[in-house]
Structure 1
């Protein structure tokens, strides 16, 4: 379980294709604190540490992970958002994030407005139906509040702090981003669907 509060940014050292799978190697600021088998959210995708060295760690990406997320788009020196799993007793911020990417969206705009930035992302139908105005959406591992919502896009206002401590400065229009809908919304939609009251 994660919070969507980015702990640090990392840098891609390599993405090595291995048939339908891949091995992702990252420079990670907190590499010395990691353990084998530990979970780390990379751009919002929960990955398991498969190898550790002094400066970073490597993760094995399944074919399903490559198919559902944007991790296959990464190139050498790409910047990624990182968050270690929530520990019992930690102070909780953001919202409940599983690190299970539901779909990808596309960056439509990322523009400075005064000291802040507006950030527009396209929403596929399966994500849009789970979103509400002022609700939470995890975008590339960042817990964001939806400021404006239309049928197929969400707008977020990004504070200077969030812009500075995440990978957002490196994004541009057309970039794919990982989306994870709110956990509670998914459960409610499932329950309503099972009872025959959902659409």
Structure 2
């Protein structure tokens, strides 16, 4: 379980394809604090640490994960948002994030808004996911509040701190992002479907 509050940016050092799996080796200042078998969110995708070597660690993404996320689009030298799993005694500063990406979306608009930024995203209709005004959404692992919710489209406002300390600082129109929709909203939607 995660909160969507990014701890730091990691750098992709190595990508190794093996069958349907992709092994990602990432450098990070938190690598020495990790343990093998620990869960860590990468752009919002929960992956298990399988190896640690000084300031680098390795995780493996299976084909299902690659099909539903943007991890297969990462390149050596690229940045990734990192968050360790929440401790039960921690404050929930973001919202409840499972680290299970529902689908990807595409950035369609970026605008600087007098010291902050407005990002707009579109996503496919195939999964029937929804957003609501002032509801929660996770984009590349970052917990955010939805503005301008429309069918298969929404916007988020990004403050300077988030812009500078996550991959939002390099995100541009046309980029693919990982989306995890609010888990409570998903349950409510499913319950309503079962009643009809």
Q: Which TM-score band (shorter chain)?
A: over 0.9
Find out whether 1:33 has 2:30 as its counterpart: no
Q: Distance in 1 between matches of 2:58 and 2:103?
A: 23
Tell me the TM-score normalized by structure 1: 0.95
Moved over 3 A (4+): 126-129
Q: Distance in 2 between matches of 1:127 and 1:4?
A: 22
Once the two structures are TM-superposed, the CA of residue 130 in structure 1 deviates from its matched residue by 2.4
The root-mean-square deviation of aligned C-alpha atoms, in Å, is: 1.2
Unpaired segments ≥5 residues, structure 1: none
Find out whether 1:163 has 2:163 as its counterpart: yes
Deviations 1:120-140 (A, max 9, x none): 111222566421011110000
Aligned to 1:135: 135
Once the two structures are TM-superposed, the CA of residue 170 in structure 1 deviates from its matched residue by 1.5
Aligned to 2:19: 19
Aligned length: 196
Unpaired segments ≥5 residues, structure 2: none
Deviates most, 28-37 or 148-157:
148-157
Find out whether 1:187 has 2:187 as its counterpart: yes
Tell me the TM-score normalized by structure 2: 0.96
